[in-house]
Amino acid sequence: MSDHISPPRSQSRLAAPHGGARPPWDGPAGGVLSPRAIRLTAWTVALAAVGYLGLSLWAGWREVVAAFVRVGLPVMAGILALSLLNYLLRFARWQHYLTILGHPVPWLPSGRIYFAGFALTTTPGKMGELLRGVMLKPFGVPLTESTAAFFSERTADLLTILLLTSSVFWLYPNGAPLVAGVMAFALAVIVAVQFPGWIHALDDWAARREARWARALAHLCDIVLGFRRCFRWTTLSWALVIGIVAWGAEAVAFHWLLVALGHPLPLPLSVFIYSFAMLVGSVAFLPGGLGGNEATMVALLIMNGLPQPVAVSATLICRLATLWFAVALGAVAMLRSR
């Protein structure tokens, strides 16, 4: 039996724009599936491979290879399992967002779509994951609402990383301004969307105009209103609990990796290094956090007494077991999706 179903279409502006015309940024998902986006992803993977090779040569490739062997298959399997737990918990949160927005999609096809988005996670700001919106359209999910779910997920992840980092930020007080600044901005956005009057006023003002930019602004208001529905305080609290368990699992996996390499750090310090590196990669808006994440993680490990080859090895293994494991699963899911 086919997983493909076609629920009733939404009545939002994006599902049925005036005169049947497509909204300005629809197409698909702002060009997510364009050849240019695919080439960008391919170049990102190639540059990452070159960068990782350069890191290995800089640290001493023999030592790096020996570190990979020292970790062993059982530990590596455990680390991958914790990463998979992260992905599954975030998928459950994604399903909840779709339900809140009025578009419950069957779990199996929704899971394939969600994981397929990971294939393009190495785009700036993970914007390539908007691919999910294109794949959800046959299920009656308008792009405005899948985009609202996407930004809700990104914001929840950012808040989770901030909470994990700020809980032990005294371990690296020089990073406090970055943590405080990003936290203040994120909270300001969340508080602002709790008062929808200004959003409706802007929406009504844009709706009375025929210009292309006005239509785009109206669709943006739809996205913000969908985002607001996903960020009511009760939903936000639940999403943060899910996020802390999900990202905490990967932080624990990073700690386990350091233990396996024979250079254990205190668990709070391991959590801080992992989460702060994730934060730097996120705010840098680099593809998948590449470069910023790795440089931060290597620097903090060396600052805390790890030899250079071990710091580089731990960083490479961590990124292979988190970022690139997700990309690989996404590629498989994309190939299996129609």
User: Which among 159, 201, 157 has a CA at the least distance from the CA of 182?
Assistant: 159
Looking at every residue in the chain, the average pLDDT score rounds to 79
Identify the pLDDT of residue 165: 87
Q: Over range 219-244, report the average pLDDT.
A: 85
- Residue 2's pLDDT band, with cuts at 50, 70 and 90, is very low
Structure tokens at 320: 């292979």
Statement: residue 1 has pLDDT above 70: no
Task: Give the 3-state secondary structure of residue 45.
Answer: helix
What are the distances in angstroms from CA 104 to CA 96, 107, 141, 162, 326? 8, 9, 9, 29, 24
Supply the DSSP string of 283-332, one letter for each residue: HTT-BTTTTHHHHHHHHHHHHTT--HHHHHHHHHHHHIIIIIHHHHHHHH
Q: What are phi and psi of 121, to 5 degrees?
A: -70, -15
pTM of structure: 0.80
Going by pLDDT thresholds of 50, 70 and 90, the confidence category of residue 21 is very low
Q: Percent of the chain, pLDDT > 70?
A: 76
Question: Residue 49: is its pLDDT beyond 80?
Answer: no
Tokens 């371990």 locate to 171
Distance CA 253, CA 255 (A): 5
The residues near 322 (Cβ < 8 Å, ≥ 6 apart) are 83, 86, 250, 253
* Digit-coded pLDDT (tens) for 257-293: 999 999 999 999 999 999 999 988 877 666 666 778 8
The pLDDT value given to residue 14: 40
pLDDT exceeds cutoff 70 at 46: no
- pLDDT tens digit sequence for 185-228: 878 877 887 777 777 787 778 777 777 777 777 778 778 888 88
Structure token digits, residue 282: 């996120």
User: What's the whole-number mean pLDDT along residues 47-72?
Assistant: 72
Say if residue 92 is exposed, middle or buried (CB neighbours under 10 Å; 0-12, 13-18, 19+).
middle
How confident is the model over 126-168, as pLDDT tens digits? 666 788 888 899 999 988 888 889 988 988 998 999 888 887 7
pLDDT value, residue 83:
96
Q: How many CB atoms sit inside 10 A of residue 210's CB? A: 8
* Gyration radius of the chain over CA positions: 21
- Indicate the range of 90-94, 104-108, 215-219 predicted with least confidence: 215-219
